[in-house]
Structure 1
Amino acid sequence: MAENKMILLSADAEVSLYQVSNDIWNHFDELVVDFYEWKKTNRSDEKLFVKYLKSRFSEESINFIKIVGNYEGSPNMIWLDGKDITGQYANTKWHNF
């Protein structure tokens, strides 16, 4: 992964930052839709989505970077230490499961 393409994933809890391949970045919205069709259970969360992406592309296609804060509801908001830090990630693609 030459460029730093980043996405945020959450499941109504901690918001995690991941570095992803260009293929994932360029087709992120489509991949979310495909994931919901692919999964065989009612369970939908960040870990299962990461597993799906790795199985479809490669182990190296998505890498966890860090937890950036906590999900604080719609519209998607990120809070850290009692402060809204959502603006820091304004240009980062995000899906909350």
Structure 2
Amino acid sequence: MEDKTFELLTKMYNEMQNGFKKLDNKIDEKIDGVKKDIDGVKKDIVRLENKMDENHKALYDGYKQSIEGISGLREDVKEIKSKVEKQEIELRVIRGGR
């Protein structure tokens, strides 16, 4: 009877060890899959950061060009305003001289 009990315990132990090995292998496979997914996500993040950096530079360049254009227009408006004021004065002089 003791031999049968020992054999049964040995068989159960071996089956449990095999089950643990299978479970361990499955967990390792899942962890490897998760690591690959994380690596892919990291690459995507880097790609998006690079793209955002390029877009940021392009937006800044556009903003800078807009500001420069507005500054140029302000100077043009000042010059035109000065000419209009000068012409108004000349018209008053001409009208007053008649």
Same fold (TM over 0.5): no
The structure carrying a bigger helix percent of its residues is: 2
Higher strand share: 1
Of structures 1 and 2, the one with the larger relative CO (CA 8 A, separation 6+) is 1
TM interval, short-chain normalised = under 0.3
* TM-score, length of structure 2 as denominator length: 0.14
TM-score by length of 1: 0.14
